[in-house]
Structure 1
Amino acid sequence: MDASIRAYAAGDQAAVAEICVAALDIEGPGDAAIFLAVLGRRSGTWHVAVVDEVVVGVAIGSTSTAPAGLIGHVELLAVAPSFQGNGIGRLLLRSLENAHRDAGCVQVRVQGNPPSYAWPGIDTRYTVAICLVEREGYERFNDARDMDVPLSPAVVDTAADEARLAAAGIVVRRLEASDEPSIRPWLDTWGGSWRGEVLLTLESAPVGCHVALTSEGEWLGFAAHGVNHPRIFGPMGTAEASRRHGIGAVLLKRCLADQLAAGLPVSEIGWVGPHRFYARALGARFSRIFWLYRKAL
């Protein structure tokens, strides 16, 4: 089968969305549109595979900076099921590798590139993609785990806990645009991509982030949702000295209350760190597991 690789064009969106629905574990065209919009927030390399003028596959890449140098990311790789097994995925993957090599990248990672990313890595149920990257010399170096929480009014109730925090002089509220100048340096102390992810919530209405602070304005904690998909919760952080107050659980439940009000039956906690906390606080259970891969260039 003769396939060619070319740059993505605006007219390819419908075909690419259809490929994502058919090849990946997403819920339908609406979910695919969200998926692609997230990736479109950042400039990057978008390639499609074409057979007889029909788009049959897509690969999307981006770059980030690490101490070792420039890192290339493979953020999406999907081939229409009826065209899988014909080497099209390999052509797409190698096209991204070549683009990253030309850009000066020292490594390629099959890994999400926060603050905007559709998936952390390869869903372990996407077997053909795992087989492909391993055959192409990628090594698995980490995993990312998501947890699901069924939503109900009882799960998200915080009235008593918020009254307790108020009595201790701790204010809990929704993040506001006017908070950005003061919260930005505090978020920087957390490192990684959390500042960017939290600030993205200011683009939504209502703002998808809840915060805790003292009456004097000292930041104590934050929790965000909907950064990259309406059903995803995270990130969340509480200042270490304040964790004994149960601030994190309150902020978490306020986010889940937003998701419940939006009609979502389940919240998905993305790229989970302290899984015992979520299991204990909410009865959360592991759902999707993603494997992260890398390869030197």
Structure 2
Amino acid sequence: MRIEPLTPDLVPEITRVAKHAFEFDEIDEALIREKTVGAEDFDPELGVVVKVEDRVVGFAQGAVGVGDDDRGIGYVRLLAVSPAWRRRKAGTLLLFTLENQLRARNCHTISIMDCPQNYFQPGLDFRYTEGVCFLLRHGYRMVHENHNMRCDIEVGQWPDLEAEIKRLSAEGFEVRRAQFADEPHICEFLQAHWPAWVAEVKRALRRDPPGVHLAWHNGKVVAFAAYQGNNASLSWFGPMGTDPEVRKKGLGAILLRLCLKDLAHQGWRHAIIPWVGPISFYARTCGAWLDRCFWVYRKDFSTKPLEWKLAEAALAGQSDPVNKLLRAFSFDPMTRKESELVNK
């Protein structure tokens, strides 16, 4: 068993692993590429695979928080191990590799999957029982939960949408699809209200046609809704937001429905509304229902739990971060210390 870098040529293999590991998720090669080697923040030292006799049996991708509210937080964006290789050190080797690399980048906290700038899901689906047990074994604790909603969509929905847009026009609001030239105005609006969403909305804006709808007032963007800026191969809606000064006018509902109609025109019959805040708004506006629950697990390295003290002892005296882990976890038979680390 050995650790190697996650390189572009391995995407088909890690997609195969992900399909077996994430039975509750829709997985395709485009999505896995987007989360790993195709990510704008891809760091080669934070993408790793574990191989057994040249066969990939697991992989992991990490990221570093870039926003003002998550500086010092490192993320495990994805970690997957083939079912046949669970509880055989593969997952532990991947996790400790990422932890070591993220700590070297001054991350004091490691969070599982809820990476704002590019996420697969906003946490670990609570039904992945083996994953929950794995994280608890390695000192992670649940800090909160996030939810996805889902709604049915069809091309002919909301026939009065154009009339609603005309009503808003009479009140001085222009509602239209974004153009690429609107990017500076969109970014200015996002930086003022939701800076963590800038990268995702930029990706949606680059779609053809752009996956962003806007509301303007007095020459400024005052509301937006976007889709497929994240998980672009899925029917992924969001994010969206309205300037607090112009809420309660129906802008958000109209922009949401315009985006959902776009997804319906792509051939989708349902839309995923992830990482939901206003549950009642979506239930009322598009008939969405709560669909999935995700638990966010974190580990604080400002204190040292027992398993990390054991890991540091096992890794002492080695210079290269990856080789540290290889040497620490490739003993055969297992040493007592290695057994404690894996089976605790």
Structure 1-normalised TM-score?
0.93
Of 177, 180, 183, the residue aligned with 2:183 is: 180
Q: Distance in 2 between matches of 1:228 and 1:169?
A: 32
Superposition map of 1:31-180 within 5 A: 31-39=28-36, 40-41=38-39, 42-44=41-43, 45-65=46-66, 69-157=71-159, 158-180=161-183
Contact 1:156 1:256 in 2 (8 A): no
8 Å contact 2:189–2:222 — kept in the other structure?
no
2:3 matches 1:5: yes
CA distance in 1, matches of 2:124, 2:140: 12
1:91-119, CA deviations, whole angstroms, 9 ceiling, x for partnerless residues? Answer: 21111111112222211111332222222
- Deviation per CA, 1:50-86, whole angstroms, max 9, x where unpaired? 1122110001101114568522110101011122232
Give the share of equivalent positions with the same residue, in percent: 35
CA 1:68–1:279: 2 relative to 1, 3 Å: closer
The alignment partner of 2:18 has SS state of helix
Aligned alpha-carbon RMSD (Å): 1.7
Q: Is the partner of 2:224 in helix, strand or coil?
A: strand
1:243 corresponds to: 247
Asked whether the 8 Å contact 1:38–1:228 carries over to 2, the reply is no
2:269 to 248, 265, 285: 265
What does residue range 226-241 of structure 1 map to in structure 2 within 5 Å? 226-229=228-231, 230-241=234-245
Q: Are the aligned partners of 2:147 and 2:290 in contact in 1 as well (CA < 8 Å)?
A: yes
Q: C-alpha deviations, 1:212-241, integer Å up to 9, x for none?
A: 012x31222000001112411111111122
Name the SS for the 1:244 alignment partner. coil
Tell me, yes or no, if the aligned pair for 2:227 and 2:237 is still in contact at 8 Å: yes
Range with bigger deviation, 106-115 or 272-281: 106-115
CA distance 1:33–1:217, change in 2 (3 Å): same
| Aligned partner letter, 1:43 | F
* 2:281 corresponds to: 277
Deviation at 1:154, TM superposition (A): 4.7
Task: Name the CA distance, whole Å, in 1 between partners of 2:8 and 2:279.
Answer: 40
Q: Which runs of 5+ in 2 are unaligned?
A: 302-344
CA distance in structure 1 between the aligned counterparts of 2:280 and 2:187, rounded to whole angstroms: 29
Name the stretch that deviates more: 251-260 or 91-100. 91-100
TM-aligned CA distance change 1:210 to 1:99, over 3 Å: same
Aligned residue in 1 for 2:331: none
Tell me, yes or no, if the aligned pair for 1:26 and 1:32 is still in contact at 8 Å.
Answer: no
Q: CA deviation at 1:156?
A: 4.2
Distance 2:47 2:70 in 1: 25
Measure, in 1, the Cα distance between the counterparts of 2:26 and 2:275.
19
For the pair 1:220 / 2:217, whether they are aligned, the reply is no
Structure-2 separation of matches of 1:27 and 1:278: 22
The structure with more strand, counted as a fraction of residues: 1
Mapped to 1, the partners of 2:72 and 2:245 lie a distance apart of 36
2:202–2:229 Cα contact (<8 Å) kept: no
Between 1:133-142 and 1:146-155, the stretch displaced more is 146-155
When residues 269 and 68 of structure 1 are mapped into structure 2, their CA distance, relative to the original with a 3 A threshold, is: closer
With structure 2 as the length reference, what TM-score do the two structures score?
0.80
Structure 1: gaps (5+ residues):
none
Higher gyration radius (CA): 2
In 2: Cα distance, 1:85 partner to 1:68 partner: 31
